[in-house]
Structure 1
Amino acid sequence: MSKRKKAKAPLSGNEIARLIDQSLLKPHAKEADIIKLCNGAIKYNFYSVCVNPYYVPLCNALLKGHETKVTAVIGFPLGMTLKDVKVYEAKQAVLYGADELDIVMNIGAAKSGNWDYVAGEILEIISATGSAVHKVIIETCYLTEEEKIAATKITSLFGAEFIKTSTGFGSKGATIKDVKLMKKILGNRAEIKAAGGIKTLTQALNFIKAGATRIGTSEGVEIMKELKIS
């Protein structure tokens, strides 16, 4: 049996780690799992941990004094709750210690062509939580190419610092094609977070090469182990 070739990394181990949002978003995640998540993030110096809002206070306490930030998901994973609920959820997440917010766009509104609603919702959430970094999840697997272009343009124009490809709960995760398309649209106006199905160092490096500046993954520790960083 041939051995798996080790991917060559153009970045240092720490540089790669600082592009990773280490995620644990499963509904059955226990406190012990979150503690393990944060310990791994501290060990490898990941940029952030990405969790459901319920676990924001715990992560905030565990990561105090460390560089790793806390990211909370909002309207996750469907994006279809009411705007006022999303705004409240976002404000509470920041109140309890979230540094960054991964906000699921209202996918149904986007598919219906109701872009005014999509834009208004994003603007209202960002206005209510100005101290946070905002990443809007457009869930590319459900969008046509025209809708991907519109979603990327609109969410960035209304103040999102990042556009994120996927929740990881949809029918498909990030693709290189989508990241390249988003990068072409955005230029330097906003950054891209690739997420969904990224499990290896090679995948992560390919998405970074395509234009992503943040990688959302539940396999950050395994990716670092591929670099022989233990």
Structure 2
Amino acid sequence: MEPTRADLAHYLDHTLLKTDATADDVRRAAAEAVRLGVFALCVSPNMIPLDVDLGQVRLATVCGFPSGKHTAHVKAAEARQAVAAGADEVDMVIDIGLLKAGRDDDLIAEIAAVKREIPGVLKLIVESARLSDDQLVVACQAAEEAGADFVKTSTGFDPAGGASIHAVRLMARTVGGRLGIKASGGIRDYATAIAMIEAGATRIGCSASAQILAGAHS
């Protein structure tokens, strides 16, 4: 059975991470997030604290974004500051180079360093389009071992691509329901969002929230 509009909205992280976003853009995105009844609003860390009331909508932000090529210390400090400013959730970009070099222990240590700073939800962005299946499995295993709460496909900024059904399905199979799966990157319509959920996504990151919800049943 396909989800109702309200059910589908609860999957969505309404996202504004454009490099040229202004405070007014964030206010408009926040108002839209509240109007649509999405789960969370995700904005850049320098845009929080917000000067608007999100009601029941959670506030998410990013760290190590979008390249992941920051030290673990910097990522942890960025996450700590974001939480102190009001963020409920943090989406962190992993250092994909550590993963590809087989430095699993260093990757786990980086994730754990950030997780220690977050009383709420930590989602790990792994840029699945850049990974082989084996690497994607290792990324998911590292996320679980380090105590992360979600694995997330993409930043949406990498030219290699965004979310894919194959990646979401493999991620979901690897974590077996122990972690959430966030599909993000290129999800702009109802049919694609539903396909991602059917593949195993438990959260959808998108800027086209209104367009996605327009296709849902009331």
Give the aligned residue type for 1:32: D
TM-score by length of 1: 0.91
Describe the SS at the equivalent of 1:166.
coil
Partner of 2:138: 150
Cα distance in 2 for partners of 1:186, 1:228 equals 30
How many equivalent residue pairs? 217
Query: Displacement, 1:142?
Result: 1.3
Higher Rg: 1
- After superposition, the CA RMSD in angstroms is 1.2
Any gaps of 5 or more consecutive residues in structure 1? 1-8
How far residue 45 of structure 1 moved from its aligned partner, in angstroms, is 0.8
Paired amino acid for 2:130: Y
Q: Could you list the per-position Cα deviations for residues 156-197 of structure 1 after superposition, in whole angstroms to 9, with x for gaps in the alignment?
A: 221111100110011200000011111111112111000000
3-state SS in 2 of match to 1:16 = helix
* Cα distance in structure 2, aligned partners of 1:63 and 1:116: 41
TM-score (norm 2): 0.96
Q: What percentage of residue pairs aligned between the two structures are identical? A: 36
Q: Does 1:63 align with 2:62?
A: no
Q: 2:183 & 2:207 partners in 1: Cα distance?
A: 12
Structure 2: segments with no counterpart, 5+ residues: none
How far the C-alpha of 1:228 sits from its partner, in A, is 7.5
Q: Tell me which residue corresponds to 1:103.
A: 92
Aligned counterpart in structure 2 of residue 214 of structure 1, from 193, 203, 215: 203
Task: Tell me if structure 2 keeps the 8 A contact 1:179–1:194.
Answer: yes
1:92 counterpart (71, 81, 94): 81
Shift of 1:114: 1.0
Do the aligned partners of 2:12 and 2:206 also contact (CA within 8 Å) in 1?
A: yes
